[in-house]
Amino acid sequence: MSNQAQAERETRLTRIRQLSNMMKWFVTVLLILVAVISAGLVSALLLPAILDVSTAIFEIAPVERKLSEVPFGQRLGLIALVFSAFFLLSRLFWNIRQLFVQFHNGAFFTSSTQTRILNAGLWLLAFGFFDILSKPVASVLLTWDHALGDRSLVVELTGSELFFLVFGSLMLVFGWIMREAASLADENRQFV
């Protein structure tokens, strides 16, 4: 390899490492934000009167209710949804963070990197499906104590769910392709 080609390669690797390091810290901040927001939501749902948020409006699509009007059992169901969303997002962000750590370290074709890519795709898909299913469940939970004709079931499909499903599928296929590329590279090294 010529000196110029080596210098260009080092420039590319430096750029990958720098951006990967920056993104690792950005995703770390996102993880912390998700935890703080989830803790705030859970606290508000558990203790609306104590936290002085009992007049706050909880809204899911066309369904709006004051937190103080939602019975405790129904709020527990909403808390389960918040915990589920937090779990899925934290697993997704953790895998993405670890993927950036791998890239920062120059481990592009390791089995750990491939696993992180596959896991990120799976967690994206899982969150996309959860997002689709959580709105109907939450709308039923918000109106469960209403009279039979006043209960709501909101079914909604937005661009965010489609993004998670499409991007999750892309990451999954990309992980499979990376696995095949690493396998071919391994095979080639054995012939040389």
pLDDT digits (tens, 9 = 90+) for 98-128: 999 999 999 888 888 999 999 999 999 999 9
Structure tokens at 128: 């996309």
Domain parsing of the chain, residue ranges? 3-191
Per-residue pLDDT at 168: 95
Mean pLDDT estimate for the chain: 88
Per-residue pLDDT at 98: 96
Per-residue pLDDT at 5: 87
Of residues 53 and 39, more confidently modeled: 39
Whether the per-residue pLDDT at 61 is higher than 80: the answer is no
pLDDT band at 13 (very low <50, low <70, confident <90, very high): very high
Q: What is the pLDDT of residues 151-166, one digit of tens each?
A: 778 788 888 899 999 9
Per-residue pLDDT at 101: 96
Of residues 56 and 80, more confidently modeled: 80
Among the listed residues 127, 117, 125, the one whose alpha carbon sits nearest the alpha carbon of residue 90: 127
Residue 78 DSSP label? H
Among the listed residues 108, 127, 107, the one whose alpha carbon sits nearest the alpha carbon of residue 119: 127
Question: What 3-state DSSP class applies to 1?
Answer: coil
CB 154 within 8 A of CB 65: no
Whether the per-residue pLDDT at 70 is higher than 70: the answer is yes
pTM of the full structure: 0.85
Residue 149 DSSP label? G
Residues of the chain with pLDDT > 70, as a percent, come to: 97
Of residues 141 and 173, more confidently modeled: 173
Residue whose structure tokens are 């901040």: 29
